[in-house]
Every structure is written in structure tokens, then in C-alpha cells.
Amino acid sequence: MVDTNKIPEPFATAYNEGRYFLLEHEALKVFESIGVIFPPNKLVKNVDEAVTFAKKIGYPVVIKAMSPKILHKSDYKAVIIGIDSDEALKNQFNDMESRLKKHDLVGILVEKQVKKGTEILIGMNIDPTFGPVVAFGIGGILVEAIGDVSFRVCPTTKERALRLIGEIKTQKLLNGFRGLPPVDRDALAEMIVQVSQLAIDLDKYIKEIDLNPVIANEDGVYGVDARIILKELK
């Protein structure tokens, strides 16, 4: 058995629980520690805490169920978006809790819902030939349909990241499509560099990273959904 005392949090907790992925609220902490910006968010244990936090950050909000049993949240209806009042939040919170508590729910993440924007993917995986590579492309539900993604070797630099952004085919979507503002390429490039560096700094633990979507809107660039898959410990 590997000595998990020497492993930093939140990885140690995951390994101790026999998990090979981080819960989203854990992943958020990792990303926030390297400077990736997420909308205001908090892991809450009950509905009162949820309402208090939502009032503080303002509606609309999103709630997400955090459970070690749930990797793909959409399979469990574990994300509810567009919640715009105390009442709606109470209803949705209670409903989610009763539906999913059997899956070892550790809490529910309340997050400010960001304004509409361009959905981007930033990710990392370990290529069998080239080692860790950072990916950038069009994100959201279109990822697989469009398949417009390109790569750089990790770690990368800002210049290379800017080139990477300029390399994907659907530049139109980045330049402000259908009333959306053009994406902030500079901020995206910084996020790409941060993710590529994270993959190197924590290469003992991290196998894959998914920031999908990252939303680029009039206010800036935000990670919205985050996933970190872990390596098996040797």
C-alpha cells in the first residue's frame, strides 16, 4: 500500500477513498490554486446554507451534486441550471437531495451561473507517443460533433498557446458569433499555460484534465465544469 501521507490534498482523500477522480469541488480548489477563475461557488450541506450563499452571490445559480459514485453527472441529472429564486432553489435542492442521497452525496455545490458565452474546451491527456499534451478547442455539447481541437506539448508558453488558439478551424466561433463578444484570447492562453503546467507539476497524480466548458463571455473567461482523472498509484 502506498503511503498517502506524503500525497497532497485533495489527491490523498481521493486515493484513500479508492477514487481515481476528484470530485468537482475538489478539482475547483486545485484549479483555483493555479489561478483558473471559476464563478463564485460553495459546497453546502443543507438547503438553508444554499439559500444564504445564493442570496450573497445573486441569482441565477446552478446546483451540482457531489458524490464519489457519480463521475458523469448528466447520467444522474446531477446538475440543475437556471435557478432564479429562493423558492426554486429550495425545490430543486430538496429534489436533488432526495433523488441522489443514496449515492453517498457529500454535498451540493452552489455556483453562480455565468452569462451566455462561447463554450470552449481546455484539457490535458497523456499521449502514448508525445507524453502530456494540452488540448484546446470548441467545447460544450458540440465537442464530439465538431471535433475541432488542437494540441501543444506540456508545459507550454503563452506565445504557443496563442498560436494554438489561432489554429483551430472554427475561428468564427471565437471571433464573436451571433451576437456573442469575441473571446478573450489572452485570458484563454493564460489558462492553457496554467493547465499545461499543472499537468507537469502534479504528473505523479494527474492522468487527464477536462475543463469543459470554459465559458468566454462579456465578463471574462470562466471554468464552468472541471474534471481531473487520477493515475493509479504505483
Partner 1 sequence: MTENPLHKFFQTKSMAIFGASASKDKPGFVIAENFINNFDGKTILVNHKGGEILGQPVYKTLEEVEGPVEAATIIIPAKYVPAAMEDCAKKGVKSVTIISGGFKEIGEEGIKLQQQIDTIAKEHDIRIIGPNCIGLFYPKRGLDMVFLPEEKLKRPTEGGISILSQSGAFGSAFLDIMGSLGKGNYLSKFVSFGNASDINEADILEYFGEDPETKIILIYLEGFKDGRRFIETARKVSLKKPIIAIKANRTEAGARAVASHTASLAANDDVTEALFKEAGIIRAYTWDNLFDCMKAFNSTLLPKGNQVLVITDGGGAGVMASDAIGLLGLELADLSPEIEKKMKEDLPPYFSVANPIDLTGSATAKEYLYALEQTINDPAVDSITFIIIPTPPAINVKELMEGLKPYAKSINKTVTFCAIGGEEALYIREELEQMNFPFYPTPARSVYGIGILTEYADYLRTHGQELPVIRETPK
Angle at 25 between CA 153 and CA 19, to 5 degrees: 75
Cis upstream peptide for 40 (omega within 30°): no
Least Å from the CB of residue 109 to partner 1: 33
133 binds partner 1 (CB under 8 A): yes
For partner 1, the binding residue among 130, 158, 171, 204 (CB under 8 A) is 130
Dihedral sign from CA coordinates of 31, 156, 139, 210: negative
Query: Using CB under 8 A, which of 32, 49, 167, 184 touches partner 1?
Result: 167
Separation between Cα atoms, residue 105 and residue 97, nearest integer Å: 8
Q: Kindly state whether residue 58 participates in binding partner 1, applying the rule CB under 8 A.
A: no
Binding flag, residue 150, partner 1 (CB under 8 A):
yes
Decide if residue 120 touches partner 1 (CB under 8 A): no
Question: Is residue 28 a contact partner of residue 36, using CB atoms and an 8 Å limit?
Answer: no
State yes or no: residue 158 binds partner 1 (CB under 8 A): no
Query: Of 9, 84, 95, 127, which one interacts with partner 1 (CB under 8 A)?
Result: 127
Cell representation of residue 213? 466548458
131 binds partner 1 (CB under 8 A): yes
Does 152 participate in binding partner 1 (rule CB under 8 A)? Answer: yes
For residue 50, give the 3-state DSSP assignment. helix
- Cβ distance to partner 1 smaller for residue 11 or 151: 151
CA dihedral 74→26→20→151, nearest 10 degrees, is: 80
Q: Does the footprint of partner 1 cover residue 186 (CB under 8 A)? A: no
The piece of 106-114, 143-151, 200-208, 221-229 that touches partner 1 (CB under 8 A) is: 143-151
* Cα 29 to the center of its chain, rounded Å: 10
Considering the rule CB under 8 A, would residue 185 count as an interface residue with partner 1?
A: no
Binding segment (CB under 8 A) for partner 1, from list 25-33, 89-97, 162-170, 185-193: 162-170
11 close to 230: Cβ distance less than 8 angstroms: yes
Is residue 141 close enough to count as binding partner 1 by CB under 8 A? no
- Residue that has been written with the C-alpha cell 470552449 in this structure: 120
* Binding test (CB under 8 A) with partner 1, winner from 73, 90, 163, 185: 163
- Rounded Cα gap, residues 79 and 101, in angstroms: 14
Q: Assess contact for 206 and 19: CB atoms under 8 A.
A: no
Judged by CB under 8 A, does residue 143 bind partner 1?
no
Q: How far apart are CA 48 and CA 60, in angstroms?
A: 17
Q: Is 149 in the site for partner 1 (CB under 8 A)?
A: yes
For residue 175, state whether it binds partner 1 (rule: CB under 8 A). Answer: no
Residue numbers at the binding site for partner 1 (CB under 8 A): 127-131, 133, 149-153, 160, 163-164, 167
